[in-house]
Amino acid sequence: MRSPPWPLFDLRINTPRLQLRPPTDEDLADLAALAADGVHEPDFMPFSIPWTEGGPEVAARNVLQFNWRLRAEWKPDDWHLNLVTVVDGEVVGNQGIAAKSFATVRSVNTGSWIGLRHQGQGIGKEMRAAVLHLAFAGLDALEALSGAWDDNKPSLGVSSAMGYEPNGEHFAARLDGSGRLLDLRLPRAVWEERRRDDICIEGLETCRHEFGITESGITESGLIE
């Protein structure tokens, strides 16, 4: 059987509450509309790159262009997988995972956002758990990195709940000046202690090479489910 030209479209990460999947253009239209409806309160900017600044139309357009660019620039040794978060058939947010030289380094970075009207319902923790399952159980990662401004309590709370550990801090440019970014790291061993058995991955076998992993089938540690 021939592999499809873009096998990533068949990838799914399912939990009892939600599904993560690479977005089709129809999903991207829904994601753009979600961004236009609001991602954060107007007096707070949670992102290092203020892509929501400029109003609803700008935010929606940025969502589309960013995701289209990620597809066009994908390389097995430098990839950024953006996944839509779907709850009860509705796109409610975006969960990203990225890596460079993953086959050698086995380290990933994650980032996410949720539509404002869907926040405060535990979705952030569930989607992070799902993408970490992809990283560790599916791709055999050794660590997952993340970070947030020191005043981004929701993001830091999700990371803490997942078991992330402090990994330094640094100052960076922010929309209103400079701010303190807290770096976080989740080692594989800590994830293993909290590993869930109710998350499943579909469609990974046909697109493993897209992540720079050349061996076929199950990884040496037997982690693909």
pLDDT tens-digit series, residues 49-80: 899 999 999 999 999 999 999 999 999 999 99
CATH fold of 7-211, please?
Answer: Aminopeptidase (3.40.630)
- Give me the numbers of helices (H) and strands (E) for the chain, helices first please: 6, 9
* Between residues 204 and 221, the one the model is more confident about: 204
Residue 182 host element (H or E): strand 177-187
Q: What is the pLDDT of residue 46?
A: 87
pLDDT confidence tier of residue 5, bands split at 50, 70 and 90: confident
Helix, coil or strand: residue 12: strand
> Is the pLDDT assigned to residue 222 strictly greater than 90?
no
Asked if 211 contacts 139 with a C-beta cutoff of 8 angstroms, the reply is yes
* Residue among 225, 27, 17, 11 nearest 125 (CA): 17
Asked if 32 contacts 60 with a C-beta cutoff of 8 angstroms, the reply is yes
Residue type present at position 29: A
pLDDT tens-digit series, residues 78-98: 999 999 999 999 999 999 999
> Is the pLDDT assigned to residue 104 strictly greater than 80?
yes
> Is the pLDDT assigned to residue 219 strictly greater than 70?
no
Q: What is the pLDDT of residue 31?
A: 98
Asked if 219 contacts 27 with a C-beta cutoff of 8 angstroms, the reply is no
Asked if 190 contacts 56 with a C-beta cutoff of 8 angstroms, the reply is no
Q: How far apart are CA 27 and CA 221, in angstroms?
A: 34
User: Residue 66 to residues 30, 114, 199, 209: CA-CA distances in angstroms?
Assistant: 14, 16, 28, 23
Tokens coding 133: 């399952």
pLDDT tens-digit series, residues 161-177: 999 999 999 999 888 77
pLDDT tens-digit series, residues 105-151: 999 999 999 999 999 999 999 999 999 999 999 999 999 999 999 99
Give the residue carrying structure tokens 């779907």: 86
Q: How far apart are CA 160 and CA 184, in angstroms?
A: 9
